[in-house]
């Protein structure tokens, strides 16, 4: 029997961003997957070599819209180390505050996307509504909802006022209440648990061998977090727990992220309570010394690495960036094998892929038959396939809306 | 003795040629340069005996007559060792490490695409990150590479003042 190639796409917006996966099916089951990444490659590393350090910082902030502060902090830390700058404590605290606000907005965003991929759209609506509280703070503190440009070499560019501090603390209480309910949904709601358990399974050994990072790895019992293991910014001064889970599946990845939300609220309270007085930045030179530095940062999606080689001029000789999603792709290939086609959207979504490096289409290789699907059609196929198998989110969506109405 | 110095002394005892080529930059940041023929032995020792089980990234460097490959290796508890090896520019061939670090496949493909280093043993697969119709022998991260066709279009007359 000859194999038939079925493209899903051609311009499919997986998670509203481009990527291409070539999936080989054995009946309903995924036999293997290959992927084509890179269509979003913008040559930023090369572009940095032709720009000054400070120009590069603004370019690097634009690698990603969701974790822009992650890349900007990883880069800033590297340059500060190269130049031997001592950042004032207050600057480090504000930098860390933005980092945790970013983690909250990213995790709430992911929770909504994951809910949407399985057909639980009410949860999408509520988590994205709650996320707006954080987005407003980021806009207030940085002047922008994304690309806040808070970092500069030697510290941060914007200070906090007592009003802003009070406002953030109040919203952390609101968000914590909301998140408690989401945690209850995640741990008690039978439909959600049944839909996500044993989907996208990867063992602890596989996660370690394949180099998985962030919540994807922590949901496989891999106890790693750069904030604790290789502390930077104000993390040595705060207490927090590294959230690890042993489910090793998509359900575990939900639990890890929900628990990390609580830790972020706690970190923000500690930072604001102990916010040191003093300057927020020191002056940085234009020319940076020659040398090599390697900076690590725990982005919402996992470890983000930046390498800089300076040559004594005002332009870097080499900038190398390893974003967390790149480290997780090899693991996705493993996690998706043996799953039903209907689970492909949620397994891919479960690493919280950030596609600023990727491609266009899903291609299905089936032993027989053929059709052309969009990502939306694949998502719909997944939802309906599980509905036929007894997992329907329609009732849950209704129940959830009613409960939220009562809370109001 | 700090943890960094312990690693330094263990490695130098095992591989005396590292004595001059090992640098402790600060806490958790170590740098070393190894000759190409000793690379395998050092990496195996780090992986099997010293728990450097993470490959965080591979940086490719254009250093004129040679290309530098920096393997950023890590211990889960936070220690990072950046291990550099140099290969000749006229024969940019190196070997894959995906047997030890399967997660490094895309890192190697990236260096292959952008710097033009051939990794022996890396299985055929989809390229990353350049497009399929990218011309052969064009490696953007080489210092002498210039985009041939990407000349900024001239500003329309009368609309933009430079």
DSSP sequence for A145-174: SS----EETTEES-PPPHHHHHHHHHHHHH
- The reply to whether B76 falls in a domain is yes
Please state, in angstroms and rounded to a whole number, the distance separating the CA atoms of residues A346 and A119.
10
* Chain B positions in Cβ-Cβ contact with residue A331 (cut-off 8 Å): 103
Q: Tell which of B106, B114, B115, B138 to mutate to test the A interface (max A CBs under 10 Å).
A: B106
Total tally of structural domains belonging to chain B: 1
With CB atoms and an 8 Å threshold, state whether A39 touches B140. no
- Domain extent for B55: 3-92
- Split at pLDDT 50, 70, 90, the class of B49 is very high
CA torsion angle A39 B129 B140 B39 (round to 10): 170
Write out the two tokens for B34.
């190894």
Residues A106, A246: Cα–Cα separation, whole Å: 22
> What is the phi/psi pair of residue A377, to 5°?
-70, -35
Q: Is A304 on the interface with B (CB under 8 A)?
A: no
Distances (CA, A) of A66 to A103, A197, A357: 9, 27, 14
Partner residues linked to A373 by β-bridges: A8
- Radius of gyration of chain A, Cα coordinates, nearest whole angstrom: 22
How many CB atoms sit inside 10 A of residue A18's CB? 21
**Which residue out of B80, B102, B108, B147 would a mutagenesis test of the A interface target, given it has the greatest number of A Cβ atoms within 10 Å?**
B102
Residue B30: beta bridge partners? Answer: B24, B81
CATH 1.10.645.10 region(s) of chain A? 50-321
Highest mean pLDDT among A14-18, A387-391, B72-76, B124-128: B72-76
Q: Report the candidate in A304, A31, A325, A305 with the shortest Cα–Cα distance to residue B103.
A: A325
- Residue whose structure tokens are 């039978």: A190
Q: Extract the runs of DSSP E, i.e. beta strands, from B4-162.
A: 22-26, 29-33, 54-62, 66-74, 80-88, 93-95, 118-120
A333 inside 8 A of chain B by CB: no
Q: Is residue B63 part of a domain?
A: yes
- Asked if residues B21 and B32 have their Cβ atoms less than 8 Å apart, the reply is yes
The helix/strand/coil state of A29 is: strand
Closest by alpha carbon to A305, among B70, B62, B149, B153? B70
Digitized pLDDT (tens) for each residue of chain A, 408 residues in all: 444 444 554 345 445 566 677 788 888 888 888 777 777 788 899 999 999 999 999 999 988 888 899 999 999 999 999 999 999 999 999 999 999 999 999 999 999 999 998 999 999 999 999 999 999 999 999 888 889 999 999 999 999 999 999 999 999 999 999 999 999 999 999 999 999 999 999 999 999 999 999 999 999 999 999 999 999 999 999 999 999 999 999 999 999 999 999 999 999 999 999 999 999 999 999 999 999 999 999 999 999 999 999 999 999 999 999 999 899 989 998 999 889 888 888 888 888 887 643 333 455 555 445 555 667 778 888 899 888 988 888 888 888 788 777 766
- The owner of tokens 């350090």 is A53
Q: Which of A35, A212, A307 is facing B57, going by the closest CB pair?
A: A307
User: At the top level of CATH, which class does the domain A50-321 belong to?
Assistant: mainly alpha
Token reading at B41: 């032995």
CB-closest option in A34, A208, A226 to B126: A34
Contact A158, A287 (CB under 8 A): no
pLDDT computed for residue A361 by the predictor: 42
Mean pLDDT is lowest, of A272-276, A386-390, B8-12, B107-111, for A386-390
**Which residues of chain B make contact with A305, given a CB cutoff of 8 A?**
56-57, 72
- Look at the alpha carbons of A262, A268, A273, A276 in this order and tell me if their dihedral is positive or negative: positive
In a domain, B135, yes or no: no
CATH of residue B84? 3.30.460.80
CA pair distance A361, A41, nearest whole angstrom? 16
**Which residues 247-286 of A have a C-beta within 8 angstroms of B?**
none
pLDDT of residue B156: 61
Nearest-by-Cβ selection for B28 from A212, A230, A307 = A230
Q: Given CA atoms A131, A137, A143, A147 in this order, what sign does their dihedral have?
A: negative
* Among A101, A131, A137, CA closest to A113: A131
CA angle A388, A391, A392 (to 5 degrees): 90
């Amino acid at each position: 029997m000859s194999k038939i190639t079925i493209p899903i796409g051609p311009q499919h917006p997986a998670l509203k961003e481009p990527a291409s996966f070539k999936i080989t099916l054995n009946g309903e089951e995924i036999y293997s997957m290959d992927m084509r990444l890179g269509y979003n490659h913008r040559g930023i590393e090369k572009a940095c070599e032709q720009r000054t350090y400070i120009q590069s910082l603004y370019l690097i902030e634009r690698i990603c819209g969701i974790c822009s502060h992650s890349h900007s902090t990883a880069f800033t830390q590297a340059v500060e180390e190269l130049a031997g700058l001592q950042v004032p404590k207050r600057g480090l605290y504000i930098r860390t505050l933005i980092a945790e606000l970013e983690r909250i907005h990213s995790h709430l965003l992911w929770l909504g996307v994951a809910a949407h991929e399985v057909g639980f759209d009410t949860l999408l609506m509520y988590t994205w509504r709650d996320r707006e509280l954080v987005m407003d703070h980021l806009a207030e503190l940085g002047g922008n909802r994304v690309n806040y440009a808070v970092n500069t070499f030697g510290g941060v560019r914007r200070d906090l006022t007592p009003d802003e501090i009070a406002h953030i603390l109040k919203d952390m209480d609101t968000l914590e209440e909301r998140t408690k309910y989401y945690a209850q949904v995640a741990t008690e709601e039978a439909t959600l648990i049944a839909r996500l358990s044993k989907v996208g399974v990867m063992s602890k050994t596989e996660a370690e061998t394949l180099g998985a990072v962030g919540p994807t790895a922590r949901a496989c019992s891999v106890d790693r977090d750069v904030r604790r293991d290789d502390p930077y910014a104000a993390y040595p001064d705060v207490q927090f727990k590294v959230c690890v889970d042993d489910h090793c599946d998509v359900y575990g990845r939900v639990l890890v992220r929900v628990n990390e939300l609580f830790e972020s609220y706690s970190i923000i309270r500690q930072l604001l309570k102990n916010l040191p007085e003093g300057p927020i930045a020191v002056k940085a030179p234009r020319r940076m010394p020659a040398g090599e530095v390697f900076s690590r940062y725990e982005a919402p999606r996992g470890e983000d690495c930046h390498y800089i080689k300076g040559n004594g001029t005002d332009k870097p000789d080499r900038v190398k960036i390893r974003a967390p999603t790149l480290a997780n792709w090899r693991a996705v290939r493993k996690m998706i094998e043996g799953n039903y086609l209907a689970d492909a959207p949620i397994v891919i979504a479960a690493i919280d892929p950030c596609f600023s490096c990727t491609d266009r289409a899903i291609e299905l290789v089936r032993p027989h038959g053929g059709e052309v699907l969009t990502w939306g059609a694949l998502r719909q196929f997944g939802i309906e396939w599980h509905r036929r198998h007894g997992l329907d989110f329609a009732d849950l969506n209704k129940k959830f809306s009613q409960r939220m109405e009562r809370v109001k | 003795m700090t943890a960094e110095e312990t690693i330094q002394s263990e490695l130098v005892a095992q591989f005396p040629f590292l004595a001059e080529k090992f640098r402790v930059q600060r806490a958790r940041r170590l740098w070393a340069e190894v000759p190409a023929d000793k690379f395998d032995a050092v990496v195996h020792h780090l992986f099997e005996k010293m728990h450097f089980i993470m490959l965080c990234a591979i940086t490719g460097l254009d250093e004129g007559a040679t290309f530098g490959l920096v393997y950023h290796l890590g211990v889960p508890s936070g220690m990072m060792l950046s291990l550099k090896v140099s290969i000749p520019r006229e024969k940019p061939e190196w070997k894959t490490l995906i047997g030890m670090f399967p997660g490094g496949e895309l890192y190697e493909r990236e260096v292959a695409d952008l710097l033009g280093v051939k990794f022996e043993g890396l299985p055929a697969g989809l390229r990353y990150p350049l497009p399929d119709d990218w011309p052969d022998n064009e490696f953007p991260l080489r210092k002498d590479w210039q985009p041939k066709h990407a000349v900024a279009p001239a500003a329309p007359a009368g609309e933009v003042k430079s």
